[in-house]
Structure 1
Amino acid sequence: MIKRDGAMPSLWQQTVEPLPFNNEAPAGNYDVVIVGAGITGISLALRLQTAGLQCLVLEAHNCCFGTTGGTTAHLNTMLDTPYTTIIKHVGEDGAKLVAQSVKEAIHHIEKNIETYQADCGFERTAAYLFAQNVQQEKELQDIVTACEKVSVPVHYSNNIPLNIPFTKAIEIPAQAKFSPVQYVYGLAKAFIAAGGRIIEQTAVTGYTHRTDEVVQQEIIEVQTDAGYSYVTNKLVFATHIPPGVNVLHMRCAPYRSYAMAVKLNGPYPDELCYDMYDPYHYYRTQLIDGEPYFIIGGEDHKTGHEDNTAACFNKLEAHAKKYFNVESITHKWSSQYYEPADGLPYIGELPGARPNVYVATGYGGNGMVYSQVATILLTDLITTGASAYASLYNPNRIAPVAGFANFIKENADVIKNLVSGLVTRTQLESLSGLAHNEGRVVVFEGHKIAMYKDGNGNLHVLNPTCTHLKCSVSWNAAELSWDCPCHGARYSIDGVVLNGPANMDLKKIELKND
């Protein structure tokens, strides 16, 4: 089973074995270096490699460690941001282009599966969106009208494949589902077979531009925590959210979503289904090794803004048992995504960076399809310098944030760090009153301290100041992690970075002997 960025294993982690390859890459020049080995990074690397470019993928943990390992893997042309909203932001022509791009994205996945024989349970199926009150019916009618404007086929249906009361519903044909980690690992093996290289357990710590004196061309040198540097012509951050500090962090709001896989007594619905509450619930079935699993998701909230994350699972379980004959719950997990300010992702040149540095972020809840939009768009930009989708998803379409540079400086200057050795273990034990496997941010002599007591009673003590932009982290009891409520950085119980945009661990606090 592979690892991912949470304490609770997802359904997908058990579907693959770690990649069988030598985790090394020779120093030298690469046409493209891609940071991040999720669905975006691996899909893009394979497409570029087969186009004749030599590619290197650098991954801080392991392939599919992040959100790709925790998605529920719906493949939709009916997006989380409805076309009613998209039309308001980019007009009908722009919305048609969005619809065209996600349709092309699903086809791209289908074609890859056929080309590379990726055994990942891909299946075309219809999707259903259903209303349960008068207000939702009106919203549904508006969605139907908008879908007709952008040529996304929909029609009203008198039935849905779930035993949930509804007042009105629509069917959207030609959607799809698959097992995402199996898909990505299939592509990763094809990428390696084509001469590409992947290095896992290697974090990128920075990059610099310089001029190659031999060819008199600007190149990018990428530094890693392993002490190695790699030279490239193009650099792509496929890390879900770019590391470091960037204006995009002010335009992407981090959210957690919850999911569970269950075994049912009775039939398993084949189709994708969605209710219309905010946050909404989503449902589907996936066959894995011939065994059906019914997957239910929902209870979304902003990262670090929910005090009792375990309660989100309790609510989701209660919802599942209310409407379905649940035999057992096999998996529970949560995952992170980033909502863009205007409902569309940011794919293209990284704002504020020099040329030839690219980013793909802000996918919202549609990461599987937008990852393929990014693959298509960035391949076109890198190989030809143009794309039909470039303007639509351009990260530089956002207005600069007033006072952004001053905000960063001031936010960094006001933080006071707790010096290690000022406090004893006994003092903290009496102060916190932590139970085993409990974490909490406490205040000691005017300083905040992040504390976790493990199952053996050992204390793990950290400075709770997020290393990204100095917010204070919050404890996530469900995933046993420290989550930043500002920009979504997440850390393990020992302060190791699990999710960007932070690229440095939380500072450990060494306790004084009693």
Structure 2
Amino acid sequence: MTKGLPFWCDQASPSPYPALEDDMRVDVAIVGGGILGLHLAWRLRDTGLRVALFEARRIGFQATGRSTAKVTSQHGLKYDRLIRDLGAERARIYAQENEKAVRDIASLARLIEGRADLEQKDAYIFAADKDQAEQLEVECKAAAQLGINAEIVSNVPLPFSAPALLRFPGQYQFDPCRYLMGLAKLVSDKIALFEQSRVLEIEYGSPSCLSINGRVVKAGRIVLATQIPIVNDGFFFTKSFPFGHPVAAAPLPGNPRPEGMFISAGAPTRSFRTARRDGQDWLIAAGKEFKLGDAEQQRDAIADLRAWLLDCFGIQALSHLWTNEDFRPMDGLAFVGAATASQPDLLVATGFEAWGLTQGAVAADIIASTILGTEHPAADLLRANRVRPLAGGGTFVAENSKIAAHLVGDRLLRRKVVQVEDIGPGEGGVVSKKGKQLAVTRHQDGSLSAVSAVCTHLGCIVGWNATDRTWDCPCHGSRFDESGKVLTGPAVSPLARHEWDPSAP
């Protein structure tokens, strides 16, 4: 039976961190317990500052724990584009800071019990045809120009044809859940850690006040270490755009273990690595992108991934299947630093695309430098309140036009509405009832439950994610469990509950 949870979370130990129960005052409040939040906690651990970290759910189980966990400065076909868009000097900053992040993460992993299953591996981009092979040649030259060690190879054993591969040696893979829980343990002697502690409201001032679990946390500085900021300051939900992709795990059925971490040069996305557990080799693979909340696109992406795994690796059944969410920045670079000029003590980081491990570590370094009053080489490059209309203007307009279409089309034209009788046991769908659009789940016993289908962030209509059993917003990436509880922002309020009246029209 396929488990609908990430491979890394399957064997996680119980959490030792409490929910916030009392008012408190800190110098720095870190909101989010992923790689960004915990790396920042590590950087601030010995500074003498009063620091607390608040995780809305559980450390290690969110975006970082749902990734394929490749620790690499190889970010797809990235560097040639950066040189063309930004120039070699600024592209070199991006490259070198991500190279440093690889080393920093590996060093921290060695301090954690079991080293978080850290393994040194080469990272490869593989070409499927001659045109892609030529793209790899261009990318290889760009990497060399920026001081990155990379080379074209063609003799890597793989169960499919790859005429050329671009190899980045000396990269790493690990268990992200064990890494974050281990890092939390390393900082917990000096940093207050809280789980099940969701920030519902922020009132700015000196100090600012965060509303968490009915308590008040006063903070001199606030760091939103969430995938997308949970406040509208800076309007980052209009500059970083959500997308999903399926991720699967399965035992390798006797085939030779691919040695390395791999991603395709072109679409559809083929990204995979191996892991070792209980004496068995496992394959962890991610498939092509889909629009969050689009059930048809998601089904197609999962079917495509299953077919590819069967064809190339002989994998007939998946042990784990889940979806992950990422945010693509409009100009190809993450947004890190003060959210706005008027709120310099509200610090954010978002738009890591699919490379949040190293970029999260880089962002933590930048934010730590900002708090400590020191310079950072990438601070200006990734400045959160930057404006680059030539680099990102087209993407900005195109993506926000799509979001506007969702707002109008989904709410007024009701394109997602299904008939309640078409919702099977264990499934969900959006139903129109009494002029309202409701997100309806049918339980295994046939009973129905309903919540509002209107996302509490800005009002888009959510869609059913059958893999994770969640309601996902296609506009700005908020996700809710089937009862309407917030899983990820930018929304902070749950979907309103509705009593299901079968007799009502």
TM-score where L is the length of structure 1: 0.88
Amino acid at match of 1:35: V
Find 2:211's aligned residue among 200, 203, 223. Answer: 223
Partners of 1:432 and 1:448 in 2: CA distance: 16
SS at the partner of 1:142?
helix
Conserved 8 A contact 1:118-1:186: no
Q: Does 1:158 align with 2:154?
A: yes
Q: Does 1:434 align with 2:423?
A: yes
Q: CA deviation at 1:416?
A: 13
Partners of 1:159 and 1:85 in 2: CA distance: 27
Q: 1:84 to 1:453 in 2, by over 3 A?
A: same
Q: CA deviation at 1:158?
A: 2.2
Q: Which moved more, 1:272-281 or 1:179-188?
A: 272-281
Q: 1:460 to 1:351 in 2, by over 3 A?
A: farther
Q: Which moved more, 1:496-505 or 1:149-158?
A: 149-158
Q: CA deviation at 1:38?
A: 1.4
SS at the partner of 2:265?
coil
| Residue ranges of structure 2 left out of the alignment (5+ in a row) | none
Query: What corresponds to 2:379 in structure 1?
Result: 390
CA offsets 1:344-367 (integer angstroms, 9 cap, x no match): 111111136512110111100101
Conserved 8 A contact 2:292-2:477: yes
Query: What corresponds to 1:185 in structure 2?
Result: 181
SS at the partner of 1:469?
coil
Q: Does 1:206 align with 2:201?
A: yes
Q: Does 1:254 align with 2:242?
A: yes
SS at the partner of 1:342?
coil
Partners of 1:22 and 1:277 in 2: CA distance: 44
User: Aligned-pair RMSD on alpha carbons?
Assistant: 2.8
CA offsets 1:293-327 (integer angstroms, 9 cap, x no match): 11111121221234252342222111011111337
Q: CA deviation at 1:334?
A: 1.2
CA offsets 1:374-432 (integer angstroms, 9 cap, x no match): 121111111125322110111111369999xxx9xx99x999999xxxxxxxxx99854
TM-score where L is the length of structure 2: 0.89
Query: What corresponds to 2:12 in structure 1?
Result: 16
Query: What corresponds to 2:38 in structure 1?
Result: 42
Q: Percent identity?
A: 28
Conserved 8 A contact 1:128-1:160: no
Within 5 A, what are the aligned runs for 1:84-483? 84-117=80-113, 119-193=115-189, 195-210=190-205, 218-224=206-212, 226-246=213-233, 247-264=235-252, 265-307=254-296, 309-326=298-315, 328-351=317-340, 354-398=343-387, 431-483=420-472
Q: 1:261 to 1:414 in 2, by over 3 A?
A: closer
Query: What corresponds to 1:508 in structure 2?
Result: 497
Conserved 8 A contact 2:251-2:280: no
CA offsets 1:446-504 (integer angstroms, 9 cap, x no match): 43222111112121212211111111111112221111111111111111111111111
Conserved 8 A contact 2:287-2:302: no
Give the number of aligned pairs: 485
Partners of 1:105 and 1:348 in 2: CA distance: 18
SS at the partner of 1:34?
strand
Query: What corresponds to 2:60 in structure 1?
Result: 64
Within 5 A, what are the aligned runs for 1:65-84? 65-80=61-76, 82-84=78-80
Q: Which moved more, 1:303-312 or 1:76-85?
A: 303-312
Q: Which moved more, 1:297-306 or 1:178-187?
A: 297-306
Q: 1:7 to 1:33 in 2, by over 3 A?
A: farther
SS at the partner of 1:337?
strand
Q: CA deviation at 1:28?
A: 3.2
SS at the partner of 1:87?
helix
Amino acid at match of 2:445: N
Amino acid at match of 1:220: S
Partners of 2:113 and 2:106 in 1: CA distance: 10
Partners of 2:410 and 2:9 in 1: CA distance: 40
Q: CA deviation at 1:19?
A: 2.3
CA offsets 1:245-300 (integer angstroms, 9 cap, x no match): 24110111101111111212132122111222223211111223544211111121
SS at the partner of 1:307?
helix
Q: Does 1:490 align with 2:486?
A: no
SS at the partner of 2:115?
coil
| Residue ranges of structure 1 left out of the alignment (5+ in a row) | 1-5, 211-217, 419-427
